Structure formats: structure tokens, C-alpha cells
Structure 1
Amino acid sequence: MKILIVGGAGYIGGAITDQLMDSGHDIKVYDTLLYEESYRKPVPFVYGDLRSREALLPLLKWADTVVWLAALVGDGACALNPDVAEEINYYSVKWLADNFHGRIVFMSTCSVYGAQDKELDEQSPTNPLSVYASTKLAAEKALEGKNAIIFRLGTIYGVGDIFSRIRLDLVVNILVVKAHTTGVIRVFGGDQFRPLLHVKDAARAVVDNIGTSHTGIYNLHRQNVRIIDLAYQVRNHFPDLVIEQTEMSFQDARNYRVKSDKAIATFGFKPQYSIDDGIEEVKDLVINNRIKDVNNPRFTNQVFLETYKTHLL
């Protein structure tokens, strides 16, 4: 099968590419290297912006399957320029739907549900509270009626591969960095829930469904965890860690729990990596100085875009 991975140099894309490299499929990676300086994996690579229709069209004609990962990711990053976020996250996907008739695997987000108190499945009402969530929901709708499987991902954590940039602006990863660098985790509120998922488990769901006939929307998460409980779980790995909990003076919009029963029943989704696995992976990076500067803006989407005022903005 010929598989085009758009955004394949990123955090999730790196894990997907690694899992596909020895699969016997013919793969190509298309990426603008927004956060990277180079791409050195031994797979065919095309450098380009996802808004470059002329560059993408020949690749779409070549591909049987498109794994569409490229996006402006995160509430803060999208809020910097909502028009650009809409162009990248929605209109590019609409263009894909209009110009490609093969298999599509698309990454969405559980944040389309907004803040709700009950466990949410794919039939639950959506209530996007950010530009990021609203553009992802619009992209989902653009793929209706296509041979497309859509994954609403929980918050990702852990190490996906040995090359691609790790994100240090995601809750598990950032708490581990704080535990190491400051010895203190400050938790505001703490009763907010996040559905969490290891990056390699997200990648495995993609790889396992490239050749299936499953379509529609699927939640993907390992477990729902309160932030305060996650902080104490991190302390199990850093015994001297101090946790400071204070009341939150505002309602956190990112408070939701999800169910992944549909994915479990349909294609046997079974996450292999625990939260403790992810904590230990990131701990190894920071304890052994495998990341030279954890404060480098490139590890945080919003800060990087603000700092370098890239062509995206």
C-alpha cells in the first residue's frame, strides 16, 4: 500500500513512521519541518507546506492512503492567529476531502467536547471552547461521507521515537520536567480531568487501521485522570517532589472525561503503555541531560510561534 503521512515529522508522526517503516508498505513523509532543523529518517521525504496545493496534488495521486497529522496544534497556538488556524486545520482538510478519494486517517481531539461532567462517548454533544477545538470539529464534518477514520485523541504523553521533537507543553511531560528542574509542582484546582494516551498507542491505532474498512469517529484514551492525582503519581518517581495545591479562581474549560468503548469493541483498541511508562521515559530524558535545554521554545508550540514569528503567522 502507498501511504502518504502529512505531518510525519512531528510528535505523533515520528511514532507512526517508525511503526510503518518495517511494515512492507511504501511510505512517504510530507512536512514543513516547523519545529525541526532536518529530517534524517531513511524514508522518502518531501519538504512542503500543507497549504501548497501544487506540491500535494501529485502526492495524493500517488497515495492509496493519507494519514493527515499536520495541524496548528493547541489552544494557545491557534489563538495567536485564528484565521491561519482555520486555514490550516479546517480548509486544508476540506481541500483534501474534495481532492482525494482513497483512505484517510485523521487526527482530531477530545477537546471538541469542551467542559462536561459525565463520561463522554462519540454520541455525546460537542462544545468546542477554543479555536483549536472548533477547527478540528469543522474538519471532522468535512470528512463526513468519505472513507475516513477519525481519532479524537486524549492528551498525549511519553516518547514516540528517538528523533522527532518531544512536546513539553503537554500535562504529563511538563509535570515531569517541573519535578526535575524545580522540585515543585503547583496545581491550580486539581479536580480537572484529562483523558490521557501514550503517543505510541495513538500511533498504533493509526497503523492498525490503515487497511481496515472502519470509518467514523473514535475516542482514544488510556484513562481519565485528575490533575492532582497525576501530580502525586509523578511524585512516586520523584520522592522529594513538593506539590502545592491552590484553589482555582476560574473554571478550567479543559475538564472532561471520555470513553473509548467504541474503539475497543470495533478494532480491539488496547493501550500498551501506562502513565508510569511515560513518566519514566521523560524522566530519563531530563535526568540524563538528553535534552540540552528543556526551556528551548521549540518544545512548546505556542511559545515557539510567539518567539520566532514563523511564516505560519
Structure 2
Amino acid sequence: MTKYDIPKFGILHHSLLSHDNISSVNIIDEDLKAHFQQLFEGGYFDNAIVFVASDHGHRFSALRETQQGQLEERLPFMSIALPEKFKSTEKGKKIYRNLKANADSLTTPFDIYETFQDILSLPDELDTEQSNDKRGLSLFRPISKTRTCQDADIQSHWCTCLRWQKGNNIIAEKLATAVVETINDYTKIERNLCAPLNIDKILNSKKLVPNEQLLKYAGSTDIDGQFPKFNENAVATFATYMIIFTTSPGNAKYEATVQYDEELDKITVDMLTISHINKYGDTAHCIIDKNYFLATYCVCYDKINKT
């Protein structure tokens, strides 16, 4: 056995040129192309599977405040290159076919992990469509074209496959208030550093349109084979809203997805579904080194008169 027979895994994370200024991303294009071309033509990838990916789109530029920016944040780039010799093998042909087909299916980073597992031990079965019961599915094997965000356990906040309609302004105000209260509760542990926030303006609100078939569905086939029941008069009382609003001090712009039980008038806010979508700069400088996770919600007192 030589050193070339030992399996290796390497990862390179590059963000210097793109993180703070989206306009400088293209600076690296030619160098990156030349680098990969040299590696491929030099045979360095003859026995390697190469993943080139982005973790997310730009999260605080002016572009992020547009619909295109919202999509780019949620739909990062992913490319996979297989060795040419491997693609000519029986398994390689099937895997390449499945990769191309899965480009049109809903996939997530959990699928990349499952794909790594297949690389460690290539499966024999490569023709059967995988069950949506698992959160992660291998990209090397067929993935259903009808896979949904619910199947993949993607929260509404991050799902790009949903239909929305214009929201109610009065409800939006109530929901935004709940979000700000949740943020303030989250930062109160550092209240001596971070000022409490107030709602400044509601910029947009939209309500998720429920799936009509799912809404009408009232039962499943039982052990005796009875048919499922549907309720034509079913009404959704639990709604999902996405709201965009600004806060003061600091002029932060937030995008939040909130659950609202209209029947019980109950609001559920999850901190993981609140995105700060404009640049906060140094307004959170006082908390960065102490508690980085509060930075997107913190406005330092010494910055209040300067924002």
C-alpha cells in the first residue's frame, strides 16, 4: 500500500473576498478557474470526488433585502465532480445519472452528509428511490421529485417551495411586537451592554397559504384498510406569517417567520427563524467578544446617538 491508497478528506473554507462585500466576489473567478483547471488536468483529482459549495447567500447586503437575495440566502450553490474513470464504471454511471436527476429535487446539507457515507462504502442498490421518512438522503441515489420541505424537515422560514399571500397589517403589528419582545428577552442577560429594541416600521407581511389537500385530510387508512376521511369544511386556525420590520435604536431590519394560532390568539416565536437582513456594522461592537451570538440583536448604548 502506498500513500496514494489511503483515503483522505480535505475541506477548504474561503470567505475573505465575499463575506463583507458581495461586489468583490468576481475578483477570484479567474484564479479559482485556473486553480481547478490545473488540479484536474494535472491528475490530482483522478481518484477524488470534488464538492464545491456555498453555505448561504449574502445575508446583509442591499441584495438580501430583495426577493432574489432572499432566495440566494436559502439556495446556496452546490457542485459535485466525479472522476472520469469512475463515471465509466457500472456504479459510476448510475451515480452520475442520479446526481444529474437529483439536481431537480429538493436537497439539503443533511443529504451531503449521507452522500459522504455512501462515498465511504458505495451502495449496491442505486436504482430504488429513497424513502422520504429520513431527514438526510444520499445524492448518489434517487430522490423523489415530490419531496417537500416538510419531508426534509425544513422550517417554513427557510423553505422556498411555499405559496404566500399578503398578510393582515393589524396582525403583522401584533406579531412584530411579539418578535421584538422575544429578542429583548434574549438580550436581557446583557442589558448593561445591549439596549432594548422597539418596533420602528412594518415593511412587509405575508401569510403562508395552507396546502388544501393537507387541510382537508382528516384520517389515514387503518389496519383494516378503511379509506381516509376528508373534511371539505376544514378551516386552518394555525397560520404561519413572515414579517419584515425595522427596529430602533440601530435601524436594524429583521425578517421573522412566526406561528399564530388565530383561535387561541397565541403567538409562537423561534429565535432560529429570525434573520437580521441588513448590515449591523459596529453597532454591536461591545458584545462581539463576550457573546457573539447576541451580535445580530444588540445595539450598544454608545452607538445609539450615532445610528
TM-score, normalised to structure 2, is: 0.29
Bigger Rg, which one: 2
Identify which of structures 1 and 2 has the higher relative contact order when contacts are C-alpha pairs closer than 8 Å and 6+ apart: 1
TM-score, normalised to structure 1, is: 0.29
